[in-house]
Amino acid sequence: MKLVKNAAGRYVPTEVNGVKQIPFKGVGKYKPKGKKAAPPIKSCADYPDDGNKVVKNLKEALKKAGLKDGMTISTHHHFRNGDKVTNLLFDTIKSMGIKNIRWFPSASFPVHEPLIKYLEDGTIHHIEGSMNGALGRFASLGKMKGTGVLRSHGGRWQAIQDGEVHIDIAVIAAPTADPFGNATGDRGPAACGLLGFALADSIYADNVIVVTDNLVPFPCTPWQIQGNNVDFVVEVDSVGDPTKIVSGTTQVTKSPDRLLIAEYIAQFFEDAGIMQNGFSFQAGAGGINLAFAVYLRERMRRKGIKARFIRGGSTKYLVEMLEEGLTDYILDGQTFDLEGVRSMRENPNHINTSPFTSYNYHGKGNFASMIDAAVLGATEVDLNFNANVVTHSDGFLLHGIGGWQNALFGKTTILAIPSFRDRIPVIVDKVTTLVGPGELIDVIVTERGIAINPKRKDLLKAVKNSDLPIRPIKEIYDEVNSLCGGKPAKPKINKDEIIAVIKWVDGTVIDSVYKVEQ
């Protein structure tokens, strides 16, 4: 495997799974050429006039779709840990004796641990997509045949759109669908809100199979997935376990340290002048983020401030803000709880987005760069504000990128991080894996203080008179290292064996992930 040093100083392979790679060239530096991928032209003459595309089961659909060894099959992760379709899919593929599938999920979850046996027996050759938990551990130990490729949500759209990843068969689990293949996530026994992560798959894949446990008469609306892109529809007993897809209640953190971080961020929004009429922000569904939303809401009420839009992952806290009139819109990429699902279904100002609208870097702009402030997390940050979200300091690949890289393009990017986890400092000399370049990260908020990227002189000036604990990052770093008894131990990794690569939003390779030796 030939390695080159990329613009971030990281060594990355020039070829991955037989495909030539472009090393990261710097933010905004790589200019794509050529045309988008183009699916085959079809004819209505080859589809049923009555619009009924239902076939008897998944095996039948896969057969009709021409499943063969070595194909690329995609799935989405809107069911999160409640997904029942992907395991069924690979059980079916195994039963058909098919080998060497490239699995291209929008993300994987602990529920997919049973697929390890198919990685072992050659049914699945490798995974391109996030590998959370057990699958990540499996890959980290060098056990996966191919090399993992991790992309952001926007990077996944970009890779499909640009023809970097050609999907042979997309399998789209849908909470509700009609026999024509129109599908929605906002209703049905396994309602998950929306299906945006499967949208690119439905548009660009050669063959599209919709799997549902709630078949309704045509038309299924809203058609988040359009039947005009669908080849076959399959009915199953259950596509997902609702209790694991969304939780009825999302939990605000109870940790005093994390609550403090949340309060610091809310105050930062106010003191730095981000919180003003017509502003926008993005915050996820982690415990700190939820607490932040609650605190910010208080401040907005107090000052009579209204946002123009909030970017979700939506939760009941954001829904309450919408219903209370504290924001005109929620622009939502995934719903994290039942209130999010209900609001998306009922409220025309709770808008269903996709990685195309929000994150695709190879488009004519996207929403991410328009957002005033994004509050995100990280597993590690270094003294130059570079950040990691995929590996831990022990080298294990345990998380996906999600929309994290994409959201970094917001006007102000704030990382909310406890200064240490399990007595391991989070601010480090050099991140184990580079996922986000420091030039895009503006503020680090820990319970011990707030570090502002020296590049952001405007922000430093804006909070000059604030009583927030603004401190140089090095100072926080030193304090935490002394508190934890030193820097994190070096990970035991084998620099000669790359188990996965991390793509930047433009399809270039920003870093490599190495095998962990045990």
Residues at the contact surface with a second copy, assessed by CB under 8 A = 28-51, 53, 161-162, 180-181, 208, 217-219, 221-223, 226-231, 278, 308-309, 329, 331, 348-349, 351, 356-357, 360-367, 369-370, 409, 411, 506
How far does Cα 73 stand from its chain's mean position?
19
| Minimum CB distance to a second copy, residue 190 (Å) | 21
* Secondary element (H or E) of residue 320: helix 316-324
In sequence order, what DSSP letters do the residues of 419-445 get, joined into one string?
A: SEETTEESEESS-SS--B-GGG--EEE
Nearer to a second copy, 162 or 213 (CB): 162
Biggest CA–CA distance in the chain, Å, is 72
Whose Cβ is closer to a second copy: residue 134's or residue 205's? 205
Minimum Å gap between C-beta 435 and a second copy is: 18
Closest to a second copy by CB, 140 or 158: 158
Nearest distance, CB of residue 351 and a second copy, angstroms: 6
Selection from 120, 432, 412, 100 nearest residue 268 by Cα: 412
Q: Which amino acid is at 168?
A: D
**Spatial contact of 324 and 302, defined as CB atoms under 8 Å apart:** no
**Would you say 455 or 471 has its CB closer to a second copy?**
455
Distance CA 341, CA 249 (A): 12
Compare residues 409 and 477 and give the one whose CB is closer to a second copy.
409
CB within 8 Å of 135: residues ≥ 6 apart: 108, 112, 113, 115, 116, 119, 127
Residue listed under structure tokens 């993005």:
282
CB of 476 to a second copy, least distance (A): 29
The burial class, CB within 10 Å (0-12 / 13-18 / 19+), for 78 is: buried
Neighbours of 427 (CB within 10 A): 27
Q: How far apart are CB 29 and a second copy at their closest, in Å? A: 8
- Considering beta carbons, is residue 226 or 384 the nearer one to a second copy? 226
- The residue assigned the tokens 């003459």 is 45
| 182 token code pair | 């129109």
Measured from the CB atom, the residue of 52 and 494 that comes closer to a second copy is 52
Min dist. Cβ of residue 330 to a second copy (A): 11
Q: How far is the CB of 200 from a second copy (least distance, A)?
A: 12
